Structure 1
Amino acid sequence: MLKFVIYGIGARGKLFLEWFDKTRVAAIVDRNPKLQGTQYEGIDIISLDAYEERFPNLFLIVTPSDDGREILVDLAKRGITRVLPLLRAPMELTSYEAPLPFEEMMLVAGETTVDTPIAIWGVNIFTIVLYEYLVSSGYHDVSIIDLPEQADVIAAIQEDASYHFLSQAEADAKSAKILIVDRFLHRTSQAVPANGICFYKFFDLSCYQKYRDLSVFRNRHKGESCFVIGTGPSLQIADLDTLATAGVPCFGVNTVYRAYSKTKWRPTYHVSTDPSMYAYLEKDVGLLKGVDAVFLGDRQRKSPKAIDAENLYVYHSSLEYFEDEGSDFSDDVNKVCYGAGSVLYTCLQIAVYMGFQNIYIIGADCQYKNAGHAGDHFIDDYDDDAEVDGILIPEDLFRGYRSARRFAEAHGIHMYNATRGGLLEVFDRVDFDSLFTDGAFTPEHAVIHPRKMS
């Protein structure tokens, strides 16, 4: 059976190792020199150079998400091809504290017996784990489809006789159930089997059914207008005061409540993808008192703790790997909210689900001097992180916003950027001040500037 080296021992790497068989992990690669030479749960942490010297024939499981593509490019430049990115696999691989619920997952495939031929389309670490589960569960005919797009990786796996490969034509000839497990290949390959079953999205697992029903929010604000409040430096406390006076529904995000001492404004809804929000709320639930509903993502910690707040709702968060086509945009947040680099993207999905017809975004500067930390927000004490060096131009944000715009245009929904300045040109711009007359919200008087980007 294959052995592996884990690349990255951050949050995703640690979650993955909580259920993965550690006896199959020869080492952990991490770029942090302070970690190199130490151990994690008895496994040596080494440099990438040491990996090339000691374990060049073992597959690297690349766990980072934020800079995962940068790592993949670096590995390709080094000529390292035995790579299995978690980015391509279902998100459940980095969300479980116990072995994956394969019995529930198999329900996605429909009726199967141990005699049902199963062919897995796409190769990543989930492919290996799923294959081994099916074989150990008594399935007699399990194969991996030999894809030309992944020839190098497949050739390396084929060196281990434990895995059986076959062609797409052979899979079709035996009427195999084809499980598509690679999210990225599914979007870009010209050879995606028409009869394939999407086996990387699992919205109906029992672990997700414990959350409170979000359908109570469907079309709650049908036809209304709202504001989604980003926390970029362009946001002014006076803007919040204006919104408070006008009484327009608003979405606040993350630790925006740290501005409460400076304004009478409070959001109607609060949304967070920030894992620290759980800790903040556990310490002081009263921070969001008076907010109609607080939405927190489930993927931000291993098991969202029960917080004693009647207005708390947990949504199922899916942080998919995507490139130029952008992230998916959910039309049913009771099942899932997709990520795209910003909590505002989640807000847009929830706002659409609530039926808002006109959605105005403010404080979305999309221009970071310190990678989203000190000095990159509208108040100095927005978070507790120390200042970091570097400039972040988040192209992923724009890809996500383009997905939101496409969804909105297809469904007759209007999204506007009312941010003062900044780099977000995906939506038509509207002058924030022109939306209000004598304290009242008067969008009919708005000054709108068509977007600059296609």
Structure 2
Amino acid sequence: MKYVIWGASHRGRILYDLLGKERIAAYIDSDPAKRECSFKGCPVIDYDTYKEQYKEYVVIISMVFGGGVTDLLERDHIFYFSLEKCPPEFMGYGLSRARQTLSGKKLSIPDNLILYGSTLYTVLVYEKLQAEGYENISVFLPSHMNEEKRVLFSQVFPDICIVRACETEETTVLLTEKVKHLEAELSRASVIDIVDWTLYVPGYHNDRIESLKDRHKEKRCFIVATGPSLTYEDLECLNKNREFCISMNSIFTCFPNTKWRPECYVLLDADGVLVWKDEFYKLNDVPYKFIADSQPYFDYTPLEDSWFVYHSILDDFSIKNMLFSDDFSRKVYNGSTVTYVCIQLAVYLGFKEIYLLGVDYNYSQNTKNHFTDQQEPDDVFDGINGQNRIQDISYTAFQKAKEYASEHGIKILNATKKTHLDVFEQVEFETLFCE
């Protein structure tokens, strides 16, 4: 089976490495410049060319949350896989460490088994087990899959044995897709979860981060984002009052003009890791630096003593159910915004009052989006309506943060001067300090 990858960029490269060139027929990309040359030696085409010449191949959407193209494919009744329905490692999160740990490792799996799922990962596991000599393998398609997609799946993969609920009693189920609850028909089955790789990669746990838990219990902190409403006067005020601050991304570009430094710096974006790697030295006087394991093409080894590498998770399940981590040392949920990660860190450190500053929440490709003139990697949105899509997801993340905080006696207040974020109670920044 060959595939066509939608998106000739970072995650398209990851898929190239996971699948191999021989399994990729072409890449689809809306950028005309990319279509003028190949990507990893594979042709780059537009959607019309796909429909005319490549329609026999299954599409894998590599952009985050479908990139807005799922509606096009469903309109044209084209079967596709979404990358975010696979384990987060397929999008690069923790992939390097997972490869080191899992390479050559084999699970003890009985011969007669059922794969639960309908994803690319389901198919790849099925093929892998067949190649290893397993003969009695079948697939149970989840109940959330509508009839049209079930029919398309069977047509695209005619050699995969699809089983019905009545055939699943007292068997072993390999879970290859995350769901809240398995169907009642599977209640008697023995389940082996192979979709949650945190169960198999001990290296995702950072005991250095664990040593920081509740270190600042009952205190307050400021999460300083990089929105254009942030001013140097704000930073000087924070510095003068010795406030504990957590900041992010390109904040270091303001360091030459201020004595203020955050106590914690957080980097999430995979592209940001590569874009800013040569500027990490500017953060030498920041005590605690946290970097996500989101970039499989970056060597984290030199940073392990001076930075805290945390395991970030971004997938369809954690977004649709908007999960919030209560153990930053083991896994952190992306929420499509580094500010959400910072909130999870602040909670883990024990803070009971968290103030947001510089969270303007007004993303536009036509206006200045940041405190300094630095453009950040996530300013360039992929797919169709990427800006609105990311903003919708981050809004839900902030709602989850508010819900979690309320349930745990934590206050999150928005002290941003010009903010479009209406989730949290707003306060005036200047009123937070004694004269």
Please give the secondary structure, in 2, of the residue aligned with 1:380: coil
Match of 2:338 in 1: 343
The answer on whether the counterparts of 1:146 and 1:168 sit within 8 Å (CA) in structure 2 is no
Structure 1 residues 252-297: Cα deviation after superposition (integer angstroms, max 9, x where no partner)? 1011011112222110000011345545765354311221210001
1:260-275 correspondence runs (5 A): 260-275=255-270
Cα drift, residue 228 of structure 1: 0.5
Q: Could you tell me how far apart the structure 2 residues matched to 1:106 and 1:309 are? A: 28
Match of 1:449 in 2: none
Deviation larger for 397-406 or 40-49:
40-49
Deviation larger for 376-385 or 409-418:
376-385
Match of 2:44 in 1: 45
Please give the secondary structure, in 2, of the residue aligned with 1:166: coil
1:358-437 correspondence runs (5 A): 358-370=353-365, 375-381=368-374, 392-393=387-388, 394-437=391-434
Deviation larger for 27-36 or 274-283:
274-283
Match of 2:228 in 1: 233
The question of 1:31 aligning with 2:27 is answered: no
Q: Could you tell me how far apart the structure 2 residues matched to 1:324 and 1:131 are? A: 26
Please give the secondary structure, in 2, of the residue aligned with 1:379: coil
Cα RMSD after superposing both structures: 3.1
Residues 147 and 307 (structure 1), Cα distance of their counterparts in 2 relative to 1, 3 Å cut: closer
Cα drift, residue 99 of structure 1: 9.8
Q: Could you tell me how far apart the structure 2 residues matched to 1:347 and 1:192 are? A: 41
Match of 1:126 in 2: 121
1:250-265 correspondence runs (5 A): 250-265=245-260
The answer on whether the counterparts of 1:317 and 1:336 sit within 8 Å (CA) in structure 2 is yes
Q: Could you tell me how far apart the structure 1 residues matched to 2:57 and 2:34 are? A: 21
Match of 2:147 in 1: 151
Q: Could you tell me how far apart the structure 2 residues matched to 1:102 and 1:387 are? A: 34
- AA of the residue aligned to 2:421: L
Unmatched 5+ stretches in structure 1: 439-454
TM-score by length of 2: 0.87
Cα drift, residue 334 of structure 1: 1.1
Match of 1:71 in 2: 69
- AA of the residue aligned to 1:51: Y
Please give the secondary structure, in 1, of the residue aligned with 2:197: coil
The answer on whether the counterparts of 1:368 and 1:391 sit within 8 Å (CA) in structure 2 is no
Cα drift, residue 348 of structure 1: 0.7
Q: Could you tell me how far apart the structure 1 residues matched to 2:59 and 2:213 are? A: 43
Cα drift, residue 396 of structure 1: 1.4
Cα drift, residue 59 of structure 1: 1.0
Please give the secondary structure, in 2, of the residue aligned with 1:295: strand
Residues 78 and 277 (structure 1), Cα distance of their counterparts in 2 relative to 1, 3 Å cut: closer
Match of 2:163 in 1: 166
The answer on whether the counterparts of 1:269 and 1:294 sit within 8 Å (CA) in structure 2 is yes
Cα drift, residue 44 of structure 1: 1.9
Q: Could you tell me how far apart the structure 2 residues matched to 1:28 and 1:124 are? A: 19
Q: Could you tell me how far apart the structure 1 residues matched to 2:57 and 2:160 are? A: 16
Unmatched 5+ stretches in structure 2: none
Structure 1 residues 381-428: Cα deviation after superposition (integer angstroms, max 9, x where no partner)? 46599999x994411111111111121122222111111131111112
Residue 224 of structure 1: which of 206, 219, 241 is its match? 219
Match of 1:353 in 2: 348
- AA of the residue aligned to 1:121: Y
The answer on whether the counterparts of 1:281 and 1:287 sit within 8 Å (CA) in structure 2 is no
- AA of the residue aligned to 1:93: F
Specify which structure has the bigger relative contact order, considering alpha-carbon pairs within 8 angstroms and separated by 6 or more residues: 2
The answer on whether the counterparts of 1:416 and 1:428 sit within 8 Å (CA) in structure 2 is yes
Please give the secondary structure, in 2, of the residue aligned with 1:217: coil
Deviation larger for 14-23 or 265-274:
14-23
Cα drift, residue 343 of structure 1: 0.7
Deviation larger for 197-206 or 186-195:
186-195
The answer on whether the counterparts of 1:297 and 1:317 sit within 8 Å (CA) in structure 2 is yes
Cα drift, residue 119 of structure 1: 1.8
Q: Could you tell me how far apart the structure 2 residues matched to 1:106 and 1:73 are? A: 38
Q: Could you tell me how far apart the structure 2 residues matched to 1:137 and 1:361 are? A: 52
* Between structures 1 and 2, the one with greater helix share: 2
TM-score by length of 1: 0.84
Q: Could you tell me how far apart the structure 2 residues matched to 1:347 and 1:375 are? A: 23
Please give the secondary structure, in 1, of the residue aligned with 2:59: strand
Structure 1 residues 285-310: Cα deviation after superposition (integer angstroms, max 9, x where no partner)? 43112212100011134343333574
The answer on whether the counterparts of 2:322 and 2:397 sit within 8 Å (CA) in structure 1 is yes
The answer on whether the counterparts of 2:7 and 2:61 sit within 8 Å (CA) in structure 1 is yes
Cα drift, residue 36 of structure 1: 2.3
Match of 1:442 in 2: none
The answer on whether the counterparts of 2:292 and 2:310 sit within 8 Å (CA) in structure 1 is yes
- AA of the residue aligned to 1:233: P
Q: Could you tell me how far apart the structure 2 residues matched to 1:251 and 1:153 are? A: 45
Match of 1:141 in 2: 136
Give % identity.
26
Structure 1 residues 6-42: Cα deviation after superposition (integer angstroms, max 9, x where no partner)? 1111100111111213222222222122222532233
